[in-house]
Structure 1
Amino acid sequence: MPSHYLAAETEYTFQVEVNPRQKGEPRRKKGTREFVTVTVRAVIYRDTEKQKRDAKHRQEAIEEVETALQELKGKLNKRNLKTQEACQQKVQEIFKGKPDMRRAYTVTVDTNQYGAVTLAWKKNEDANQELAKTDGIFVLLTNHPREKVDAADLLTRYRGRNDIEMSFRFLKGALDLNQIFLRKDGRVDAYCFLKVIGMFVINFAAWYLQKHGRIKLSPKKLQKEFGNTTLVEQRLQPFGIRRWIGTNITSPIETLVDLLRLPHPRILIELLNVPLDYGQIIDEWVKKYMAAT
């Protein structure tokens, strides 16, 4: 387990009814209900690095709320902020999506002796300290016994699960198809089939790079790396000579080629250029040019 993680654990035992009575079913006779005992391990982790990030984000949220309340206070009793209801609505907008900040502040909207709307707030330090206690903390529940899967192994399995979910999201996503007018249904089917095969290849390549090459890229990002590799055609006029060169062969592709012992893209490109006999091409062009003149 990484050094910036701390772990503690406990167990919860409870009974679950087997085949519970469904809505509308008659009551069962006494003694016919069956229960099983279930024990769940709760492993509580604290990521000390995330703890610092959570504290920083909370402080930024506090500063954001303070600034918004100060700005609102300066706009009271002007234009559309002349009633308590309008001011309360603005306060709700400030705390929208910030339930932790709503707990950390007590905001009072009132009117003074002259009927003017007033706004006051107080930061609840006790609530803020309570929020700080949960910084960097998360809990994993499992039925694996401690003897077989300890806290470190459980964390490793959980973090690997995220990679699996990312892969499934990628494989269930929309195909990245180019706009090609293929005319016939069979050609469209063949094109889509090749794209599906390509998605599986990219997914495998991303997994292989992470496991053996220590390069972590999502399939989507790796697909972008592949897409950046281009084959450029160079032409030498007026001879009509064509030459191919490869560009943007990135580091992940270099690593993948080495790991899988594949032919390097540059070698394949050179094979395209081998049949070119520049001397013969130039001689033929000179003969045609001289014959024409």
Structure 2
Amino acid sequence: MGICAGRVVIVTGAGRGIGREHALEFARQGARVVVNDLGTGPGGEGGSGAPALEVVAEIEALGGQAVANCDDVSDWGGAARLVKTAVSAYGRLDVLVNNAGFLRDRMLVSMTEQDWDDVVRVHLKGHFLPLRHAAAYWRESAKAGERVTGRVINTSSGAGLLGSVGQANYSAAKAGIAALTQVAAAELGRYGVTVNAIAPAARTRMTEEVFAATMARPESGFDPMDPANIAPLVVWLGSEGSGHVTGRVFEVEGGSIALATGWRHGERAERDGRWDPADVGDAVDGLLAAAPSPEPVYGA
């Protein structure tokens, strides 16, 4: 039966890598899955329906139910059709896993406008649009008196939490996804929907060069960079049992799950009235001395 038995799940970018493992594990846990993937290359080039269809075939071979969808999640109409695919195929939608994305890595001084626009469009807009259409579906369901246990799991990144040299576009988009997660959690709770995010680390097409030297641990055979390691947390967050968790970001890799705490109000310097610019430096130095050192940017 599994912890998601009977639930209907959309996974974007599910044709390969982390998304594929999400889709397969949801199916193992009893969910019916909409496998969304454009089938593009690592930099967003080309396109093919083959990856999505292959994952559907894998799920059916497991005895599960799945349908393919090849709509562009960064297109308003495409995202709307994606949600309609789930409802048309299975009569409902319970879980949205936003995972689709690609990379256009450049140092900031070499990054083109197109590099910036494409990555922000696919990652950040490609999260907003499916979330927007799923939220509208759940709001109408709640208003109609239906019991809603909607779950959204977004995909941020360590680059979005801490920054990453050579990935200004990707880091900005992933930071935006973390903030979007918090806002959506606050707004959609009234309808029975939780919204959380993960910041995963695993070996995929986008990270294979970074993690190429990371091998399985010889004593156990466990591969800490296997993308399958990410799915258990995501599947649990998609279950009804996770209803008390919302607005959170989890770092996950290998056998590790960590709760990221993000920005918080810190030390404060105050005076009665407006600051004199000449006095601001001493005040800032005092705040810095009292505050913890920031985590370093990846690659710095």
TM over 0.5: no
TM-score by length of 2: 0.19
Structure number with greater Rg is 1
Of the two structures, which has the highest relative contact order with CA contacts closer than 8 Å and spacing of 6 or more?
2
Q: Which of the two has greater helix per residue? A: 1
Q: Flag the structure with higher strand content.
A: 1
